[in-house]
Amino acid sequence: MFSCGTCGVQHDTDDVSFSADVPLQWNQLEPEDKAKSLLAGEQCVIEAGEEKSYFIRACLDIPIQGGEHTFTWGVWCSLSEENYAEVSESWYDVDRVKLGPYFGWLCTQLPEYADTGFLKALLHQRAPGLRPLVELEPTDHPLAVDQRDGIPMDRMAEIATQLWHGTAAMPE
Ligand SMILES: [Zn+2]
C-alpha cells in the first residue's frame, strides 16, 4: 500500500498492472505486413519482407524492497525461430519447465523507464498456463538494477501512481 501523490488515497501496488498489447515492432509495420503477420493472445509472428520474427508474452517481475511483494510487468520478448518452435510444441507439456532458458530481446517499452526496448534477457519457462519469467541481463540499466536489487517502495509508488492515473505528469 502507498499513499497516492495524485489523489491522496491509499492504493495497493497489487491492484495496478501493466501489460503491453503488442511487441514494439508491431506498431512499425506497414499495413500489408501486418496483414501477413500473426498476433495471437500469447504469441506473435511478424512477417515483413522475407524476414520472420517471433515473439512471446512474458512476465518481468521486479521485487519491491522491504516486503514480499513483486510487481509484474506484462511484456513481449523475441525468440529465435528454433526456440519459438520448441516453446510452441511444448505449450501444454508439464515438463516444459525443464526446457530453456531461452535467449530473447525485451520488445516492450515500459513507462517510467528509458529505453527498455531491446534489452537482453533470458526467458525461464514455467508450468503450462504461466507465462515465462524474464531475467534481464545484469547490466547497469535501471530496470535491470531494479530487478536485481529490488525497487524502493517510494519509486514503485510513483510508477504505480502513473499507471493508476494514466500518463499525466505528476504534480511537482
Ligand atoms: Zn491515486
What is the domain extent for residue 94?
15-163
CA of 146 to the centre of ligand 1 (A): 23
* 3, part of any domain: no
- Say how many CA atoms lie within 13 Å of 151 toward its Cβ: 25
* 138, part of any domain: yes
| pLDDT more than 70, % of the chain | 97
- Say how many CA atoms lie within 13 Å of 92 toward its Cβ: 0
User: pLDDT tens for residues 31-54?
Assistant: 999 999 999 999 999 999 889 999
CA of 165 to the centre of ligand 1 (A): 6
Averaged pLDDT for residues 81-106: 98
* 121, part of any domain: yes
* 39, part of any domain: yes
CA of 42 to the centre of ligand 1 (A): 31
CA of 154 to the centre of ligand 1 (A): 14
CA of 72 to the centre of ligand 1 (A): 19
CA of 3 to the centre of ligand 1 (A): 8
* 79, part of any domain: yes
* 10, part of any domain: no
Q: How many helices (H) and strands (E) does the chain have?
A: 4, 10
* 6, part of any domain: no
CA of 108 to the centre of ligand 1 (A): 25
* 30, part of any domain: yes
d(CA 67, CA 13) in angstroms, rounded, equals 12
Q: What angle do CA 11, 156, 164 make, to 5 degrees?
A: 45
Handedness of CA 32, 36, 39, 45 (dihedral sign): negative
Comparing 12 with 72, which gets the higher pLDDT? Answer: 72
C-alpha cell at 65: 524492497
d(CA 9, CA 27) in angstroms, rounded, equals 36
pLDDT at 165 over 90: no
Q: Chain-centre distance of CA 166, in angstroms?
A: 18
Q: pLDDT band for 100, please (50, 70, 90 cuts).
A: very high
Domain count, the chain: 1
Res 167: pLDDT:
56
pLDDT at 104 over 60: yes
